[in-house]
Structure 1
Amino acid sequence: MLASQLQLHHLSAVLLHQTNRKAAPTTNTSKFPHLFPISYSLHQHQPQALQNQDTATNLHNEDNILRTHNAQSTALLLHHLSPQEQQNSHSPHENRPLLRRESKEKQLEISRVNKRAPQFPGSINANASSQTVNSSSKSEKFDDDGMLMKALEIRRKVTVEIFKDAMRKGKFGITYVNNLVLELSDFIDFVMIQAASMKQLPEFSMSSYNVRAEAFIDDSNVVPLIRWLKHNSLSYPQIGRLICTSRGNLNSIRRLAEWLKLIHVNGRFIGVALTRAGENILERSLEDLDEIVEYLEDNGLRRDWMGYVISRCPEILSFNMEEVKFRTEFYLNMGMDRNDFGTMLFDCPKVFGYLSVEEMNQKVAYLKEFGLNNEDVGRLLAFKPQLMICSIEDRWKPLVKYFYYLGISKDGMRRILTMKPMIFCVDLENTIVPKVQFLRDIGVQEDAIGSVLARFPSLLTYSLYKKIRPVVIFLLTKAGVSQQNIGKVIALGPELLGCSIVNKLDHNVKYFLSLGIPLPVLGGMVANFPMLLRYNIDVLRPKYRYLRRVMIRPLQDLIEFPRFFSYSLDERIIPRHKIMVENRVNFKLRYMLASTDEEFTKRVDAAVGRRRSFEAGIMYDQPLDSPDDAVIENNAV
């Protein structure tokens, strides 16, 4: 009995020694004696009984240190070798078998689960959320919808990573790939569906989901298509939108893009045309699109303009042939010829494909309320087609009310509309109101502002700080116009605001100053006749030369009547001067020129009669130098 116990003690020492060697095979026991209290070599130099006693004692003392894979088997052996009274006593080691027993019970409960859930990329382990499995929780059920959504989200993330790997193999940058994936959510879902359906194919029946997803992405040629679209200047939002709207038919994208190049759509406008032409554009046949292009070309739209029109209004490609014909006839029926129709489409392609038919009819009817007939509206739209894309409620009606407040009549509004239709397209608060307020500030009378705008509508299209204000400052500082007269000058001649300071106004001012006219006097002449500064010097010079050398008139006559330069030299000045010379009479420039031919003839006959009566000795009570009568001159000029 004693021999058998000694053998068991010796066996336990050997096992413990082997355990320590396996746990730390490279450890030197001489350097770490406190970690290896029992050594097989020490047993050879000690008595057998002492070795057994020390072994049992050291094993119990070092039980807390053992952390190797066979520590539990060693603990069981030590528990078997311990005396009976120690086993029955309440030692601190009696909890270990209990802990091991609980661990076994847990493992047993796990083994009793019916079937282990299959593990694959994107799957969810129902037991992963809890560290222990409680057999009594069979009544608890997982939320099927929540679990399904979570599984789909995980599968989507796996698909995204597979797509990113395919893009990186295609030599795309990381940033570009990440930005593009954000635009391809629908395509990622499409890849998931197709990869799942490929499980039914014999060649993929035993393949994993990753293999099937990679195979589908490669077969779809989406990566080369993305590179081709990027090469054609498409941004990643446009590429993502196209791929998602193609519904898997990626070849239709390349086919339509090549067709757009044939009609002269190039550069970044290919992406604009593809994304704005409508979701069904990828499903349309090229024959239908060619029919639309040929019809527009037959009605005045040149072939080399087609790309520009389609680029600015791709919605045209979404129309069927009946709607294209209806919209074309809508403009042609207003008296617009085919050349004007083609020019209108080139100037503003949105008038054809941006508006609905109802909106087009409403705007034409509103324009006719200004007194325009159908042909007038056609000419107006051919000249300024941008009118059709302006809102009636937001743009036209507030402008008409403002013009009515300024005293502009309906005829004046029609004049503004026909002469400068762009005014009905500009912003009222930011463009028109500040210029009207500026006219008030410089002294233009309130009742004259409406007539100024109706007379010169282009004033409202000029820049206030780059055009209008500089001209007013020039008139005040360089042309001699006083501050009291500047409002009068602008009211009488608003066309001055459209003249160039460098090329027109400055040259005219220098010319009149060179004639000997003082600057303040010139300012008074401009106040009386503002158009004086608008004439070409080549027109002014012959008239002045005739006045001074032929008519032999003083400069004062020109100062008193600066409107002299407004009359034609060959048709008005020279013929009337000859009549005066032939009849030996002389008038002031005002009475000589500012009258009709009939009035001038009566005035000449009256002057000749008075001269003859004077020569005959008949005296008149009315003085001959009355401002209403001619000045008699005995000798011909």
Structure 2
Amino acid sequence: MLSCPPYQYLPLASAHHRGNPVSGFTACLHGETSQSHISTPQLKPRGHNSKSTALLLHHLSRNSQSQLPNPKPEDMENPHMAPEEKAKILELSLVRKRTPQFPGSIYVQSPGDADVGTSLPSLHGLFQAGGDDDDDREMIMQALEIRRKVTEEIFMEAMRKGKFGITYATNVVSRLPEFIDYVMVEAASLKRLREFSNSSFNIRAKTVIQDSNVVPLIRWLKHNLLSYPQIAKLICMSKGNLESIIRATEWLKSNHVKGRFIGVALMKAEHLLDRGNEELDEIVDYLEINGVRRDWMGYVISRCPQLLSCSMEEIKTRVGFFLNMGMSSNDFGTMVFDFPRVLGYYTLTEMNEKVSYLKEFGLCNEGVGKLLAFKPQLMGCSIEERWKPLVRYLYYLGISRDGMRRMLTIKPMLFCVDLKTTIVPKVQFFQDIGVRDDAIGNMLVKFPPLLTYSLYKKIRPVVIFLITGAGVSKRDIGKVVALGPELLGCSIAHKLEINVKYFLSLGIRVKQLGEMIADFPMLLRYNIDLLRPKYSYLRRTMVRPLQDLIEFPRFFSYSLNSRIIPRHKVLVENRVNMKLRYMLASSDEEFEKRIDTLTERRQRFESGFMTDALPNPQTIDDDDDSIENKTAVSFSDSESE
């Protein structure tokens, strides 16, 4: 049995075979080779789409009775082509790499095929195929999207040639839509030049990317610790002027901006790429004149790059805003270093509103200036969301405006913390341990830093130690905290434990120590080096029993040289004696009056003449119990030691 040659096809010549094309192929299979049935085959190597071309020629030969040449793609255009077919042809015409097709494909896409340039219909025909304007617009948008993808592929290839990894190059290119469009526009404009008039779009796009030096720039920015999102955003912000990125980066490095803060400053400082070095240097010089040291500039710019977005007139206005409140240049420079955002982040309207609100607490203009110099973070707090709710809560606790002013001046941080998460839980804790509601406000005014301590790391552990280690009963712990809130700020390991061990070493029992602390909570805050000489003088010179110290723990609050020794000498000189509380807690006039009374009584006793007119010493002591109420006054006078 004969078979058809693999590299040739048999033309259907006879009318018999033209009427039944299959019979000719069947005759070939059966060996019919006579001239009556089949013409002499013309050997020809098989080309692309040979089978479909043969069938087309057979169909055309029925009308023309002659063999036609290969049809042109323009002749195959269908004015009513489907949109899917148009999109396919458009993509095949614009893609960067030709994809090989199967042998029976209508359109040639193999790069090595001789017909690759003439296989596809012209793009002009796609837009004249009877479609309306909306269809043409859609086709144009599809063409632009295809060109954009081609440009991204070219950029990816340039990145790979620049020794970038595939993942890194993909991440960067995917964030550069504006720069990709810029490359497309520049590549299209190169078509007008004579040397690129016959060049393909791919060659022109490669030329634009190479001339822009964007790949070395990406390498340089990556070396300066910028992340790929920062690099992509900077390239898009430059609008094609990539040299501005290098210039701005070098200027930032010359002003001590380091590491990742370079990228942060480049992105957050608006119009930084458009400003010259002379304008930026003028801002830095003006700040340096007003107290911001040159070596602080890097830190200030890193934390507030928005400062570089301000004009020179606005910088002068902002600096004058603070200097007009009585700040010195040193205070202003320190304030800017502590909180750089205070100068360039907030608007002047916001700053004026916050200053006016602070003045409502009774602060003068200079007082607000000192407060902001000490705690510039106040400018970062919201009046409606932070200050007003706090003021209402403090007023609910019974704190007056003067008390709030004291809290503000002593611990401004209180007006910067969150009310619900920081202050309210601590107040609730004080109420739970027995502090009266009317005493909480006085306690907070007395020691405002208390609200800045951690509840679970500082306040609760100290309370637990006072109960378990210092002998304070649960009934008295609220009183101790209310009278001595400063105890909650002491270190357990470095202060409280050491003092407790010292008092226990004197022979005082734990329960007695707890009662002493309940009577005088400040007992545990004194330095042991100050306690030892007082205790030694009490026991050795004054020859007083330990019980006197247990009954009057405030003894340690008085100055040894200014109060204890002078008054003890008076007692010795007049050969009289009295309890420690009456000896130390009374004022000088009251002490002299008491000495005169006791001296007169002693003299009458020694002379053997006693009358009922003289008061009994015990009566004198009992009548002067009110002196304990005045202890706080004398205590404040004796804390100077």
TM range (shorter): 0.7 to 0.9
- Cα deviations across residues 39-64 of structure 1 (Å, max 9, x unaligned)? 58xx8xxxxxxx789x78xx9xxxxx
Which of 201, 209, 216 lines up with 1:217 in the alignment? Answer: 209
Q: CA deviation at 1:20?
A: 2.6
Q: What is the deviation of 1:606?
A: 2.3
Residue matched to 2:82? none
Distance 2:464 2:363 in 1: 39
Deviations 1:176-234 (A, max 9, x none): 11111122111111111111111112221111111111101100111111100000000
Q: 1:121 aligns with which of 94, 104, 109?
A: 94
| 1:624 equivalenced with 2:609 (yes/no) | no
The answer to whether 1:238 aligns with 2:230 is yes
In structure 1, the partner of 2:269 is 277
Shift of 1:422: 0.6
Instruction: Read off the aligned partner of 1:625 and give its amino acid letter.
Output: Q
Which residue identity lines up with residue 603 of structure 2 in the other structure? R
Answer yes or no: is the 8 Å Cα contact 2:552–2:580 preserved in 1.
yes
Where do 1:372-383 residues align within 5 Å?
372-383=363-374
Q: What SS does the aligned partner of 1:283 have?
A: coil
1:360 matched residue in structure 2: 351
8 Å Cα contact 1:167/1:177 also seen in 2: yes
Match of 1:162 among 151, 154, 168: 154
Gaps of 5+ in 1: 1-15, 25-33, 44-50, 60-66, 77-94, 631-637
Mapping 1:17-416, distance limit 5 Å: 19-20=4-5, 22=7, 37-39=29-31, 69=51, 111=75, 121=94, 138=130, 143-278=135-270, 280-416=271-407
Structure 1 residue 75: Cα displacement? 11
Aligned-partner residue type, residue 516 of structure 1: G
Separation of aligned partners in 2, 1:74 and 1:207: 35
Q: 1:587 to 1:17 in 2, by over 3 A?
A: same
Q: Distance in 2 between matches of 1:164 and 1:478?
A: 70
Q: Check 1:579–1:109 CA distance in 2 against 1; reply closer, same or farther (3 A cut).
A: closer
- Deviations 1:365-389 (CA, angstroms, capped at 9, x unpaired): 1111111111111111111111111
Displacement of 1:145: 2.2
Q: Separation in 2 of the partners of 1:232 and 1:459?
A: 45
* Contact 1:331 1:341 survives alignment (8 Å): yes
- Find the counterpart in structure 1 of residue 493 from structure 2: 502
Q: CA, structure 1 residues 573+201, in 2 after alignment: closer, same or farther (shift >3 Å)? A: same
Aligned match of 1:515: 506
Match for 1:246: what amino acid? S
How many angstroms apart in 2 are the aligned matches of 1:158 and 1:137?
26
What's the counterpart of residue 627 of structure 2? none
Q: Quickly say closer, same or farther: Cα 1:141–1:175, change in 2 above 3 A.
A: same
Is residue 567–residue 593 contact of structure 1 (8 Å, CA) maintained in 2?
yes
Could you tell me which residue of structure 2 aligns to residue 29 of structure 1?
Answer: none
* One-letter code aligned to 2:215: V
Q: Is the 8 A contact 1:122 1:151 kept in 2?
A: no
Distance 2:315 2:554 in 1: 56
The Cα shift of 1:120 comes to 5.2
Q: Which amino acid aligns with 2:75?
A: S
Q: Measure, in 2, the Cα distance between the counterparts of 1:306 and 1:108.
A: 72
Matched, 1:579 2:564: no
The Cα of 1:348 is off from its aligned counterpart by 0.3
The one-character-per-residue Cα deviations of 1:280-323 (angstroms, maximum 9, x if unpaired) are: 11111101111111111111111111100011001111111111
Q: CA deviation at 1:442?
A: 0.8
Provide closer, same or farther for how the CA distance between residues 604 and 21 of structure 1 changes in structure 2, counting only shifts above 3 A: closer
Structure 1 partner of 2:418: 427
Give the distance between the partners of 1:422 and 1:346, measured in 2 at CA.
Answer: 17
Partner secondary structure for residue 22 of structure 1: coil
User: Could you tell me which residue of structure 1 aligns to residue 555 of structure 2?
Assistant: 564
CA distance in 1 between counterparts of 2:395 and 2:319 reads: 35
Equivalent pair of 1:19/1:70 in contact (CA under 8 Å): no
Q: Look up the SS of the partner of 2:475 in the other structure.
A: coil
Instruction: Summarize the Cα distance change of 1:416–1:253 in structure 2 as closer, same or farther, 3 Å threshold.
Output: same
Q: How many angstroms apart in 2 are the aligned matches of 1:230 and 1:473?
A: 54
CA spacing shift, 1:68–1:403, aligned 2, 3 Å: closer
Cα gap change, 1:265/1:20 in structure 2, threshold over 3 Å: closer, same or farther? same
Cα distance in structure 1, aligned partners of 2:55 and 2:507: 128
User: What is the CA-CA distance between 1:22 and the residue it aligns to?
Assistant: 3.1
Aligned 8 A contact 2:94 2:143 in 1:
no
| 2:148–2:184 contact (8 Å) kept in structure 1 | yes
2:437 aligned partner:
446
RMSD over equivalenced CA pairs, Å: 3.6
Query: Where does residue 636 of structure 2 map in the other structure?
Result: none
Unaligned 5+ residue runs, structure 2? 10-25, 42-48, 80-85, 97-106, 108-118, 625-641
1:119-141, CA deviations, whole angstroms, 9 ceiling, x for partnerless residues?
85369x9x999xxx99x984766
Asked if the contact 1:162–1:210 (Cα under 8 Å) also holds between the matched residues in 2, the reply is yes
- Decide whether the 8 Å contact of 2:361 with 2:401 is kept in 1: yes
Q: Would you say how many aligned residue pairs link Structure 1 and Structure 2?
A: 564
1:530 corresponding residue in structure 2? 521
TM-score (norm 2): 0.81
Q: How much does 1:107 deviate?
A: 6.4
Q: Supply the distance in 2 between the matched residues of 1:72 and 1:314 (Cα, whole angstroms).
A: 73
SS in 1 for 2:618: coil
CA distance in 2, matches of 1:139, 1:315: 52
Corresponding letter in the other structure for 1:20: P
2:238 alignment partner AA: S
Percentage of identical aligned residues: 62
Task: Give the direction of change, closer, same or farther, for the CA distance of 1:166–1:21 in structure 2 (3 Å limit).
Answer: closer
SS at match of 2:367: helix
In the other structure, the counterpart of 2:635 is none
Contact 2:292 2:332 in 1 (8 A): yes
Distance 2:160 2:339 in 1: 43
- One-letter code of the match for 2:512? V
**Structure 2 residue 572 is matched with structure 1 residue 608:** no
Q: Distance in 2 between matches of 1:456 and 1:372?
A: 20
Instruction: Say whether the 8 Å CA contact 1:19–1:68 is kept in structure 2.
Output: no
Question: Secondary structure of 2:422's match?
Answer: helix
Residues 191 and 216, structure 1, Cα contact 8 Å, conserved in 2: yes
Q: Distance in 2 between matches of 1:221 and 1:304?
A: 33
Normalised by the length of structure 1, the TM-score is 0.82
Residues 162 and 213 in structure 1, CA contact (< 8 A), matched pair in contact too: yes
